Structure 1
Amino acid sequence: MFVILVYDAGAKRVQKFHKICRKYLNWVQLSVFEGELTEVQLERLLAELREVMNSEEDSVIVYGFRTRRYFVRRVIGRKKDDPDRRFW
């Protein structure tokens, strides 16, 4: 499945969140990641994030798409290098 993950973490945990997400997904922008994951990989990622998160202060939002077929991504301004992305 194609996943977009966004998080909002306290200053003390931002780097930990970032490091965990980079293991599984492509870094798009500050606290935004995307990529293809299996259900098992997604559950592992969320479990790792739960271990470091403070549920009173932090949040994680995951958007899951069964296929990229209906997904369109537009970037305006500076873009990160990733040959798998479409830019207009």
Structure 2
Amino acid sequence: MPYIIAVYDVGQKRVGKMLKLFRRYLIWVQNSVFEGDLTAAQVKQLQQEAEALMDENDGVVFYQLRDERYRERIVVGMDKAERSRFL
């Protein structure tokens, strides 16, 4: 299962909707940065749902890490990440 890091830059009117969408799939790290394990189908679904919310000036970037050897996570300062997606 690939490990995904996703970041988005969207207009202020869509920030809340995009935040809710990404929190359904991934763990919030900070502001518009998310990470977590997703299946290929989940990645595709998230991409489609995000695209449906975007306008022509918005952008989303997905980084896909396929190998666990590259998953080291180093945090400098306060770690804002929620390790669980459950509220």
Q: Tell me if both proteins adopt one fold, taking TM over 0.5 as the criterion.
A: yes
Letter in 2 for 1:69: R
Structure 1 equivalent of residue 72 of structure 2? 72
**4+ aligned runs moved over 3 Å, structure 1:** none
- In the alignment, the residues of structure 2 paired with residue 77 and residue 21 of structure 1 have an alpha-carbon distance, to the nearest angstrom, of 24
TM-score for both structures, normalised by structure 1? 0.86
Q: What pairs up with 1:1-88 in 2 under 5 angstroms? A: 1-54=2-55, 56-80=56-80, 81-82=82-83
**Percent of aligned pairs sharing the same letter:** 46
Q: Which has the higher contact order (CA 8 A, sep 6+)?
A: 2
Count of equivalent residues: 82
User: What SS is found at the alignment partner of 1:69?
Assistant: helix
Letter in 2 for 1:35: G
Once superposed, what is the RMSD of the aligned Cα atoms? 1.4
TM-score for both structures, normalised by structure 2? 0.87
